[in-house]
């Protein structure tokens, strides 16, 4: 299990200024923790997936979507046991696997602490080696999701432009989207080795 130590400023609520971020597979035993973000409208607002209103729905979503996913990880902090979010990479089958989509979500109580940025930094340090042929990682965000855009920019993704009328929200509203990318060639030399444990 890879780990990154994230140094962040002391929060107003007095919580500690540093957390250790790790990635690991998400399984059925994580259903209760999964619900912490998958049932929260603040987290899921910009995602198309329906909210998990019950534990049964969470179990079904993990069973039907996560377990067979080509690259899906739980984001964990501190002891590394309880997941607090998710990050996934989904290769586009019609592109021969050279292009993939990045998705992520984090429990609302941990926003603003650098955790999502650390997790994405860990992803780009390893996913190009773990998915043979992958050259381009894309992330598409709702134009109003400024927090997600800041996360991507801190993780060294490059903003490429605005896709007009591109995303359909759960409400049916059609919105513009901002597209970001990170290429295999954007990695710094020996990036994977340095990112295994690096203060951010």
In a domain, 165, yes or no: no
In a domain, 80, yes or no: yes
Q: Which domain holds residue 113?
A: 22-138
Long-range contacts of 164-171 (CB under 8 A, 24+ apart): 166/140, 167/48, 167/140, 167/142, 168/48, 169/46, 169/48, 169/142, 170/48, 170/50
Contact at 8 Å (CB) between 167 and 148?
no
C-alpha 101/C-alpha 89 separation (Å) is: 5
Q: What's 104's domain CATH number?
A: 3.40.630.30
In a domain, 182, yes or no: no
Q: Which two tokens stand for residue 18?
A: 């540093």
Look at residues 10, 18, 12 and name the one whose alpha carbon lies nearest to residue 198. Answer: 18
C-alpha 115/C-alpha 14 separation (Å) is: 17
User: What does pTM read for this prediction?
Assistant: 0.85
In a domain, 108, yes or no: yes
What is the residue-level pLDDT of the chain in tens, covering all 200 positions?
555 544 443 344 545 446 899 999 999 999 999 999 999 999 999 987 888 999 999 999 999 999 999 999 999 998 778 999 999 999 998 767 899 999 999 999 999 999 999 999 999 999 999 999 999 999 999 999 999 999 999 999 999 999 999 999 888 899 999 999 999 999 987 554 444 444 44
Look at residues 103, 107, 118 and name the one whose alpha carbon lies nearest to residue 69. Answer: 103
Residues near 190 by beta carbon (within 8 Å), at least 6 away in sequence: none
- Domain count of the chain? 1
Look at residues 38, 35, 41, 55 and name the one whose alpha carbon lies nearest to residue 171. Answer: 41
In a domain, 191, yes or no: no
């Amino acid at each position: 299990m890879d780990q990154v130590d994230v140094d962040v400023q002391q929060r107003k609520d007095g919580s500690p200024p540093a957390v250790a971020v790790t990635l690991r597979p998400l399984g059925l035993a994580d259903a209760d923790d999964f619900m912490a973000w998958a049932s929260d409208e603040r987290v899921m607002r910009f995602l198309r997936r329906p909210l998990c209103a019950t534990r049964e729905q969470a179990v079904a979503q993990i069973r039907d979507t996560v377990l067979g996913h080509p690259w899906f990880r739980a984001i964990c902090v501190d002891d590394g046991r309880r997941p607090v979010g998710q990050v996934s990479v989904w290769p586009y089958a019609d592109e021969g696997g050279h292009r993939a989509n990045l998705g992520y979500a984090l429990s609302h109580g941990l926003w603003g602490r650098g955790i999502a940025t650390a997790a994405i930094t860990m992803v780009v340090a390893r996913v190009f080696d773990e998915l043979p042929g992958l050259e381009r990682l894309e992330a598409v965000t709702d134009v109003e999701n400024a927090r997600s855009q800041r996360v991507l920019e801190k993780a060294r993704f490059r903003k490429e432009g605005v896709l007009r009328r591109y995303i359909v929200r759960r409400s049916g509203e059609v919105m513009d989207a901002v597209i970001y990318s990170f290429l295999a060639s954007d990695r710094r030399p020996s990036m994977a080795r340095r990112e295994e444990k690096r203060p951010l």
